[in-house]
Amino acid sequence: MPLTSKEPIYLEVDPGRFLISRSANMQRAWKLIERAAPTDTTVLITGEPGTGKELVARLIHKLSPRAAREFVAEDCNAVAPTLLESELFGHERGAFTGADRPRIGVFELADGTTLFLDEIANLPLEAQARLLRLLQEREFRRLGGRRMIRSDFRLITATNADLAACVRAGTFREDLFHRLSVVRIDLPPLRERRQDIPLLVSYFVNHKRLRLKRPGVCRVSHDAVDLLLSYNWPGNVRELENLVETAILECPGDTIEAAHLLFATGAGPQGPPVEDLDAPLRVARQRVLASFERLYLLAQLRRFRGSIKETARHSGITTKHVRALMRRHGFDRRDFQPPVRLRSLARPKKNQAG
């Protein structure tokens, strides 16, 4: 099912877990997912924390011939560097101090299915060399072992680091980098897909209000949506999800208002970012003007309920200029047509989206 910027798409990854978007940025990612999923080629997913990298990896697995087998995931940042090779390759009894019994590693565990390695940039150089050989030979030994083990897994990796910069710094092998990035999917931050914010808010409210025992919370005010659209979202979709959950708990009635949005920084989108004050005057001025332009456009589109003609007339510019500004800031006219409705999704069970 192709993802377009005209109609919102809800791609169910697992029961109750959806990839939600209508942005052009995510459309490009979706085309890569469609092409890569049926193959066994390695995939590298890049993006800031909270952009949904594991969700995309699970979607690739779901659309692949290996979907009948359980998806295997490992976070390279969650294991101490000294234990990571054992976690990945496994070990035999006596391989090192404390190895009192054999252990199966995730490469062996993932035989016949998809293996997802998150935060691959944290893999030590020695383990990188072993991984490269494994990808070339499709076999390996456990730590302290003699027997060669073959494993037919499909590898997907992810990182929020700039791997090319890591290669230049000498912390990541160039040959492994090229081997991992046969297909590269770059996930945009939420600030570059703002037209998805109303969709995501509706999804999170629908699914969290029942779990939080607040079924009466069923609306989001235009002022609250304006505030959400104007925020920079350093934590991306994960931050939005947490913010909506807090807002549901803060809301005493049926409508989430701007006052119920408690941003983690405490400041939300108010005032210029600190980095703007440290930038050269020309750069800082451009950033502030761009922020004003976005907020002004938001206000007028809300005022005229998404009417491009009325917005242009009131603003003293052409409709062509209004459309250009909307494309620049990632707005869709339907986001400004009231009421703000909470959309129902098929078979909702959990509360994760990306």
pLDDT in tens, 192-250: 888 899 889 999 999 899 889 999 999 998 888 888 888 889 999 999 999 999 999 99
In CATH, what is the architecture of 24-187?
3-Layer(aba) Sandwich (3.40)
- Encode pLDDT of 287-339 as tens digits: 777 777 877 887 788 778 888 999 999 888 899 999 988 888 877 777 666 54
- b/e code 156-182 from CB counts within 10 Å (16+ = b): bbbbbeebeebbeeebbbeebbebbbe
Judge whether residue 62 has pLDDT over 90: yes
pLDDT in tens, 130-139: 999 999 999 9
CATH 1.10.8.60 residue ranges in the chain? 191-353
Q: Does domain 191-353 have CATH number 1.10.1740.10?
A: no
pLDDT value of residue 15: 77
Which DSSP string do the residues of 122-155 spell out, in sequence order?
GS-HHHHHHHHHHHHHSEE--BT--S-EE---EE
Write out the residue limits of the CATH 3.40.50.300 domain(s) in the chain: 24-187
> What is the reported pLDDT for 237?
94
What's the confidence (pLDDT) of residue 345?
43
Q: Give residue-wise pLDDT tens across range 170-185.
A: 999 999 999 999 999 9
| DSSP assigned state of 343 | P
Provide the mean pLDDT of the chain: 85
Q: What local confidence, expressed as pLDDT, does residue 97 receive? A: 74
For residue 74, pLDDT over 70 is answered with yes
